[in-house]
Chain A
Amino acid sequence: MTTNTFKIGWAEADITPAEPVFVSGQFPARVSEEVLDPLKAIALAMENGEDYAVMVCCDLVCISNDLRDLVRQKAQTAVAEIDPLKIILNATHTHTAPETRPTDPNKGGMASAGAGVELSAMPVIEYLEFASTRIVEAIAAAWESRTPGGISYGSGFAVLGRNRRWVDRDGVAMMYGLNEQSAERFAHIEGYEDHSVNLLATYDAANNLTGIIFNAPMTAQETGGLFAISADIWCEAREELRKRFGEKLYIFTQVSAAGELTPKLLYDKATHERMLQLKGITARQEFANRIANSVGEILPYLPQAIDQNPTFTHLVNTVDLPVNALSEKDVEEAETEMAKLKKTYEAELQKIEDNPSLKDEKRWYVPVSQAYRRMNWYRGVILRYEQQKTHPTLPAELHTLRLGDIVFATNPFEYYIDFGVQIKLRSPALQTFLVELAGSGTYVPSPRSTKGGGYGSMPASNPIGPEGGQVLAEKIIELIRSLWEKDIK
Chain B
Amino acid sequence: MTTQNNTLHIGWAEVDITPKELPVFIAGQFHARISEGIQNPLKATILVIESAGEQVVFVGMDTVSISEPLREAIRAGISEPGLDPQKVIINATHTHTAPLNRIKAHGAFRPWQDDEGGFTLDVVPAERYIEFAAAQIASGISEAWKNRAPGGVAFGQDYAVIGRNRRWVDHDGISTMYNLNEKTADRFDHIEGYEDHSLNLLATYDVDKNLTGVIVNVPSPSQETEHLFEISADYWHETRGELRARLGEKLYILPQCSSAGDLTPHLIFEKAPHERMLQLRGRTGRQEVAARIAECVERILPYITSTIATDLELKHAYETLQLPMNALTEEHVEDARKNQAEWQQKYQAEKQKLKDNPALKDDPHWYVPVTQAFSRAGWYGGVIARYEKQQTDPNQPAEVHIVRLGEIAFATNPFEYYLDFGIQIKVKSPALQTFIVQLAGNGTYVPSPRAAAGGGYGAVAASNPIGPEGGKVLAEYTLRKLEELMGS
A267 and B195 in contact, given A155-B273, A425-B188 (Cβ under 8 angstroms): no
B236-294 with Cβ < 8 A to chain A: 269-270, 272-274, 276-277, 280-281, 292
A274-328 with Cβ < 8 A to chain B: 274-275, 278-279, 290, 293, 297-298, 301-302, 304-305
A271 contacts partner chain B, Cβ-Cβ < 8 Å? yes
Query: Do the beta carbons of B158 and A275 come within 8 Å of each other?
Result: yes
Query: Do the beta carbons of A278 and B269 come within 8 Å of each other?
Result: no
A290 contacts which chain B residues (CB < 8 A)? 159
A184 and B449 in contact, given A195-B161, A275-B303 (Cβ under 8 angstroms): no
A431 contacts which chain B residues (CB < 8 A)? 270, 273
A78 to B195, CA, bound (A): 48
Query: Do the beta carbons of B272 and A426 come within 8 Å of each other?
Result: no
Query: Do the beta carbons of B180 and A425 come within 8 Å of each other?
Result: yes
Query: Do the beta carbons of B197 and A178 come within 8 Å of each other?
Result: no
A196 contacts partner chain B, Cβ-Cβ < 8 Å? yes
B290-329 with Cβ < 8 A to chain A: 292, 295, 299-300, 303-304, 306-307
B359 contacts which chain A residues (CB < 8 A)? none
Query: Do the beta carbons of A189 and B194 come within 8 Å of each other?
Result: yes
A156 to B449, CA, bound (A): 32
Query: Do the beta carbons of B432 and A425 come within 8 Å of each other?
Result: no
Query: Do the beta carbons of B197 and A195 come within 8 Å of each other?
Result: yes
A270 contacts partner chain B, Cβ-Cβ < 8 Å? yes
Query: Do the beta carbons of A193 and B194 come within 8 Å of each other?
Result: yes
B198 contacts partner chain A, Cβ-Cβ < 8 Å? yes
Name B426's contact: one of A267, A272, A418 (CB within 8 Å). A267
A62-121 with Cβ < 8 A to chain B: none
A278 and B161 in contact, given A196-B270, A267-B423, A447-B189 (Cβ under 8 angstroms): no
A294 to B165, CA, bound (A): 21
A340 contacts which chain B residues (CB < 8 A)? none
A191 to B193, CA, bound (A): 7
B417-431 with Cβ < 8 A to chain A: 420, 423-424, 426-428
A350 contacts partner chain B, Cβ-Cβ < 8 Å? no
A158 contacts which chain B residues (CB < 8 A)? 161
B272 contacts which chain A residues (CB < 8 A)? 430
Among B276, B292, B433, B448, chain A packs the most CB atoms within 10 A around the CB of: B276
User: Residue on A with the closest CB to B271?
Assistant: A425
B292 contacts which chain A residues (CB < 8 A)? 157
Query: Do the beta carbons of A301 and B427 come within 8 Å of each other?
Result: no
Q: How far is the CB of B467 from chain A (nearest CB, A)?
A: 15
Q: How far is the CB of A213 from chain B (nearest CB, A)?
A: 15
Query: Do the beta carbons of B280 and A304 come within 8 Å of each other?
Result: yes
Q: How far is the CB of B37 from chain A (nearest CB, A)?
A: 32
Name B280's contact: one of A154, A187, A278, A418 (CB within 8 Å). A154
Name A421's contact: one of B186, B193, B197, B269 (CB within 8 Å). B269
User: Residue on A with the closest CB to B291?
Assistant: A297
A270 to B426, CA, bound (A): 11
B156 contacts partner chain A, Cβ-Cβ < 8 Å? yes
B361 contacts partner chain A, Cβ-Cβ < 8 Å? no
Query: Do the beta carbons of B189 and A268 come within 8 Å of each other?
Result: no
A446 to B171, CA, bound (A): 12
Instruction: Count residues on chain A whose CB falls below 8 Å from chain B CBs.
Output: 49
Interface flags, A178-194, vs B, CB<8A=1, else 0: 10000110111101110
User: Residue on B with the closest CB to A303?
Assistant: B280
Q: How far is the CB of A275 from chain B (nearest CB, A)?
A: 6
A-B contact count (CB 8 A): 115
A272 to B303, CA, bound (A): 13
A208 contacts partner chain B, Cβ-Cβ < 8 Å? no
Query: Do the beta carbons of A426 and B186 come within 8 Å of each other?
Result: yes
Query: Do the beta carbons of B189 and A418 come within 8 Å of each other?
Result: yes
Q: How far is the CB of A422 from chain B (nearest CB, A)?
A: 6
B164-215 with Cβ < 8 A to chain A: 165, 180, 185-186, 188-191, 193-195, 197-198
A440 to B193, CA, bound (A): 30
A448 to B161, CA, bound (A): 25
Query: Do the beta carbons of A268 and B426 come within 8 Å of each other?
Result: yes
A159 contacts partner chain B, Cβ-Cβ < 8 Å? yes
User: Residue on B with the closest CB to A272?
Assistant: B157
Name B269's contact: one of A270, A302, A425, A430 (CB within 8 Å). A425
B104 contacts which chain A residues (CB < 8 A)? none
Query: Do the beta carbons of A279 and B303 come within 8 Å of each other?
Result: yes
Query: Do the beta carbons of A186 and B191 come within 8 Å of each other?
Result: no
Q: How far is the CB of B205 from chain A (nearest CB, A)?
A: 16
B274 contacts which chain A residues (CB < 8 A)? 155
B273 contacts which chain A residues (CB < 8 A)? 154-155, 198, 430-431
A426 to B171, CA, bound (A): 14
B450 contacts partner chain A, Cβ-Cβ < 8 Å? yes
Name A278's contact: one of B186, B189, B304, B428 (CB within 8 Å). B304
Query: Do the beta carbons of A421 and B191 come within 8 Å of each other?
Result: yes
Query: Do the beta carbons of B427 and A193 come within 8 Å of each other?
Result: no
A411 contacts partner chain B, Cβ-Cβ < 8 Å? no
A143-189 with Cβ < 8 A to chain B: 154-159, 163, 178, 183-184, 186-189
A430 contacts which chain B residues (CB < 8 A)? 272-273, 276
Q: Provide 12 A-B residue pairs closer than 8 Å at the C-beta atoms, listed in order of the A residue.
A: A154-B276, A154-B277, A188-B420, A188-B448, A193-B195, A196-B270, A270-B432, A275-B157, A418-B189, A426-B185, A426-B188, A430-B272
Known: A157-B292, A446-B190. 5 other contacts (CB 8 A): A154-B273, A193-B194, A266-B427, A278-B303, A293-B299
Residues of B within 8 A of A (CB): 156-159, 161, 165, 180, 185-186, 188-191, 193-195, 197-198, 269-270, 272-274, 276-277, 280-281, 292, 295, 299-300, 303-304, 306-307, 420, 423-424, 426-428, 432-433, 448-450
Residues of A within 8 A of B (CB): 154-159, 163, 178, 183-184, 186-189, 191-193, 195-196, 198, 266-268, 270-272, 274-275, 278-279, 290, 293, 297-298, 301-302, 304-305, 418, 421-422, 424-426, 430-431, 446-448
